[in-house]
Amino acid sequence: MLIEKMKNIPQSSGCYLFKDDKEQIIYVGMSKFLPKRVKSYFTKKHTDVKTKTLVETIRDVDFVITSSEQEAILTEEELIKLYKPKFNIKGKDDKTRSWSICFTDEQFPKLEVVREKSDDRISLDFTSGMLCREVYDLIHDIFNLRSCSYELSQENINNGKFKVCLENHIERCDAPCVGQILSVQYKTIVNDVKKVFDLDLKSIRTKLKKYMNYHSEKTEFEKANNYLNKINSLDVLDKKLDTIRRQKFNKQTFEIKNILKLKYLPVSIEAFDNSHNQGSSNVAASVRFQNDKPVKSEYRKYIIRTVDGVDDYASFDEVLNRRFKRLIDEKKELPNLVIIDGGKGQLNIAKRVFEELNITNQIDLISISKDNKHKSSIIHLTTGEEVDIMSVPYFRSLAKIQEEVHRFAIKFHREKQSKKLFS
């Protein structure tokens, strides 16, 4: 396994994770060019006892690809904190502090920053107190949440116990303290903030733009500008959350690898799907995701050339041969994981193609079949095992990729049908 992986080291910046014979991560390092750094461990003569012992203990290695040296430095730090490898002495001894942003349990919840959170409330978690406070402030810039310490019971509100504060006057709070917003309306704001906790900012951005355009069309330019400021704050927040996204992705890839018993970390993933209409306009498509993000330049469309009628197996045979023969011939980087849309039969076809191309040891392979509602349901492994995709939250990322390749294939099929109809 180690020898095979040494032949296929990603030619980019990133992190390398050495493991022992028990699959335990024993050392995490980084480099702006992985092949040169990783190979040096096995080609140089080491004089210090620590490095000699490390090299003698290494039995496997995983790689995490990054887009820059700076990202590799940050990722290395996070991985050391996460796994505490025994040969990373400094990282192992460092005491990691944590800060969390979460909601209080009240009728009108407010955000609070908690050190070393021990309960199970949904939260955004940080290892930097400064970043945590910056994100807290940005959330308040975008959403009209209360930040006061009032005890907002319905009885106190009805009895007029409170007065509006400056936050309401500058339109940063909708004043639930004096009944200007109902509990059900306030809950909508809370639910939007929870989308931030899920790192989903797309729907929030869409909503803010909709409100901005509405007020602009009504020539209410002051209100429109207010929403523009919120959108700008959302853009800043988006960048601030990159660190958390990276932490989440690192944890996700390791969990998927371990649960599915993959050989490689699923950092680079390609998915394949066929689309046809009773044998008419047979097409296929593939998509690639890198670090959980689509790489549109690696999206591919295929017109099936060798298959007449409906034959899913033969179509996959043709497409997989075309795609991977080309990658091999052009000496391009292979994905870590390939997802086939289908069940055991489609998976076996892909397995045979990879065996014939002699790349079985260089790529992990799974298929995902759908239920009767056409939703991703079962993950099929080459060992014959099956895993319920709903059993582990991290598998949702695999379903997302399958949905994307299906969308792309359907779109291409409809384009072909339209051209055929009007030609």
Helix extents (H) in 159-295: 166-169, 183-197, 202-217, 221-240, 242-260
Residues 6+ apart with CB under 8 A from 179: 157, 158
Residue 423: the pLDDT is 57
Query: What's the length of the chain?
Result: 423
Residue 347: the pLDDT is 97
Asked whether 395 and 252 are in contact (CB, 8 A), the reply is: no
Residues 6+ apart with CB under 8 A from 405: 271, 272, 273, 285, 286, 287, 339, 341
Other beta carbons within 10 angstroms of residue 67's beta carbon come to 13
Q: How much of the chain is in helix, strand and coil states, percent to nearest 5?
A: 50, 20, 35
User: Two tokens at 48?
Assistant: 């210090």
Per-residue pLDDT of the chain (423 residues; tens, 9 = 90+): 788 889 889 988 999 999 999 989 999 999 999 999 999 999 988 888 989 999 999 999 999 888 778 678 878 888 888 888 999 865 444 455 789 999 999 999 999 999 988 898 999 988 888 999 999 999 999 999 998 988 898 888 888 888 888 888 888 899 999 988 999 999 999 999 999 999 989 999 999 999 999 999 999 999 999 999 999 999 999 999 988 888 888 888 888 998 999 988 899 999 999 987 655 678 999 999 998 899 999 999 999 988 877 788 999 999 999 999 999 999 998 999 999 999 999 999 999 999 999 999 999 999 999 998 889 999 999 999 999 998 888 898 999 999 999 999 999 988 887 776 665
Determine the 3-state secondary structure of 14 from DSSP.
strand
Helix extents (H) in 153-220: 154-158, 166-169, 183-197, 202-217
